[in-house]
């Protein structure tokens, strides 16, 4: 069975993880596009090992406001999944969905509930495709949404990785770049789960 | 002119009067500020996890409450601070997401705060003030001139402890 060592990972593994990100976020983006009945583009997933000091770089600075939806992953593999959006993007999303025009800094309870539900749908689409690909049972827990500083939100996955090393493995996809709605997926399996995923793919 | 020295995640730094130490966007991590009010030598550690002995890969000593605090004391004493004058102020240890989960990764903020308090008690360092727990992120600044610990959070007034 493959044993992943984050510090000496070869490019084949990186390619496989990138492909997982590609399929997962492709499905998730499609689900969101259908929900909103509009076209949404997606970037090629980026797989990167980043030091703790650099994990907020993909979003901006540590103090930038960001909305994060966190899901626990259970079943044959365990870990977390995060979907991140800038607040403006989240407003554009809820305005499109609820036919409202809220541009204020605050989110109503209705909007947060809608965001949670959108998170549910897209993460479900992401993880279902991963489950089908690997034939593993993957279940998500009820999501939780938080709006806060990027550093504080990203400390949650960083701590999880901190248990095994000094780097964070990010499988990151940006959807809707330059558009009204864009976001990032982060898939954060526990270390054992990488091995399970790769073994299921006969790596 | 005082300089603002940035402390990253799993990092620790010390400074002398009149400089300041800051760490941005503390979530479940804890920012521990130690201070010798006579020499004004100050230290700030941004720890991520409670206990280095529970983790196999534990070479980054600034990452853990136990090894990080001990190292911060060592550096401050080496810079001229008096061991018995050190006092502490702590902030952070929030639970950023309200997920009901039995696994302990969701409780890590609370465990970090408990561990920090235990280590400080063991080292005989008194905690003068704290702003910990709850569910929001904090940016902190420690001022070596006054010993004040400034805490900024989103949508909340600035707090000085």
ipTM: 0.86
- A1 pLDDT band, cuts 50/70/90, is very low
Q: Check residues A52 and A34 and name the one with the higher pLDDT.
A: A34
What is the separation of C-alpha A125 from the centre of its chain, rounded to a whole number of angstroms? 12
Residue A1 lies in a domain: no
pLDDT digits (tens, 9 = 90+) for A93-149: 888 888 888 777 788 888 888 888 888 888 888 888 888 888 889 888 888 889 999
Q: Which residues of chain B are at the A interface, by a Cβ-Cβ cutoff of 8 Å?
A: 8-11, 24-29, 48-49, 55-57, 60, 63, 94, 96-101, 103, 105, 108, 135-139, 154
Please state the rounded mean pLDDT for residues B95-124: 83
pLDDT digits (tens, 9 = 90+) for B19-69: 999 999 999 999 999 999 999 999 999 999 998 887 777 778 899 999 999
Helices (H), chain B: 65-78, 108-122
Pairwise CA distance, residues B50 & A88, whole Å: 36
Percent of chain A with pLDDT over 70: 91
By the 10 Å C-beta count (0-12 exposed, 13-18 middle, 19+ buried), A139 is classed as middle
Query: Global pTM?
Result: 0.85
- A197 pLDDT band, cuts 50/70/90, is confident
Q: Delimit the domains of chain B by residue range.
A: 4-160
> Is CATH 3.40.605.10 the right assignment for the domain spanning B4-160?
no
Secondary structure element (H or E) that encloses residue B52, with its range:
none
Tokens of A25: 């976020």
* Range 78-97 of A in CB contact (< 8 A) with B: 78, 80
Instruction: Look at residue A203 in the predicted model and tell me its pLDDT.
Output: 66
Instruction: Look at residue A2 in the predicted model and tell me its pLDDT.
Output: 42
**Minimum distance, in Å, between the CA of residue A147 and any CA atom of chain B:** 9
A116 touches chain B (CB under 8 A): no
Question: How many domains does chain A divide into?
Answer: 1
CATH of residue A85's domain is 3.40.1550.10
Q: Which structural domain, as residue segments, surrounds residue A11?
A: 6-200
| B contacts of A72 (beta carbons < 8 Å) | 99, 101, 103
**Is B15 a known active-site residue?**
no
Among residues B105, B94, B88, B96, the alpha carbon closest in space to that of B42 is found at B88
Residue B68 φ then ψ, to 5°: -65, -45
CA atoms within 13 A on the CB side of B121: 6
Instruction: Look at residue A74 in the predicted model and tell me its pLDDT.
Output: 86
**Minimum distance, in Å, between the CA of residue B20 and any CA atom of chain A:** 18
Among residues A191, A150, A201, the alpha carbon closest in space to that of B96 is found at A150
In this complex, do A141 and B101 lie within 8 Å of one another by their Cβ atoms?
yes
Q: Which range scores top for mean pLDDT: A114-118, A160-164, B2-6?
A: B2-6
**Minimum distance, in Å, between the CA of residue A84 and any CA atom of chain B:** 13
Please state the rounded mean pLDDT for residues B110-115: 93
Residue A76 lies in a domain: yes
Look at A95-99, A161-165, B15-19 and tell me which has the smallest mean pLDDT: A161-165
Mutate to test the interface with B, among A83, A143, A155 (most CBs of B within 10 A): A155
């Amino acid at each position: 069975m493959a044993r992943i060592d984050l510090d000496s990972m070869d490019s084949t593994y990186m390619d496989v993880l990138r492909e997982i990100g590609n399929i997962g976020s492709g499905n998730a983006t499609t689900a969101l596009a259908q929900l909103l009945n509009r076209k949404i583009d997606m970037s090629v997933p980026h797989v990167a090992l980043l030091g703790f000091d650099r994990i907020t770089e993909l979003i901006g600075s540590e103090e930038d406001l960001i909305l994060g939806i966190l899901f626990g992953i259970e079943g044959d593999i365990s870990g977390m999944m995060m979907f991140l959006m800038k607040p403006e993007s989240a407003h554009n999303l809820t305005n499109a969905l609820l036919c409202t025009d809220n541009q204020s800094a605050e989110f109503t309870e209705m909007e947060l509930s809608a965001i949670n539900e959108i998170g549910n749908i897209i993460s479900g689409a992401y993880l279902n495709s991963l489950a089908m690909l690997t034939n593993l049972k993957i279940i998500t827990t009820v999501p939780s949404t938080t709006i806060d500083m990027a550093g504080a939100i990203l400390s949650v996955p960083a701590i999880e990785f901190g248990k095994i090393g000094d780097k964070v493995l990010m499988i990151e996809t940006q959807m809707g770049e330059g558009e009204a709605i864009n976001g990032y997926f982060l898939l954060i399996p526990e270390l054992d789960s990488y091995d399970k995923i790769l073994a299921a793919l006969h790596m | 002119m005082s300089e603002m020295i940035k402390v990253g995640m799993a990092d620790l730094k010390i400074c002398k009067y009149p400089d300041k130490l800051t760490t941005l966007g503390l979530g479940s991590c804890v920012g521990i500020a130690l201070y010798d009010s006579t020499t004004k030598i100050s230290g700030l550690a941004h720890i991520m996890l409670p206990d280095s002995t529970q983790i196999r890969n534990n070479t980054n000593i600034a990452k853990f409450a136990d090894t990080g605090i001990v190292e911060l004391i060592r550096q401050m004493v080496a810079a001229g601070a008096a061991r018995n004058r050190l006092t502490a102020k702590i902030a952070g240890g929030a639970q950023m997401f309200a997920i009901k989960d039995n696994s302990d990764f969701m409780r890590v903020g609370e465990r970090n705060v408990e561990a920090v308090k235990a280590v400080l008690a063991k080292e005989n360092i008194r905690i003068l003030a704290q702003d910990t727990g709850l569910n929001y992120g904090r940016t902190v600044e420690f001022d070596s001139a006054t010993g004040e610990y400034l805490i900024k959070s989103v949508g909340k007034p600035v707090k000085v402890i």
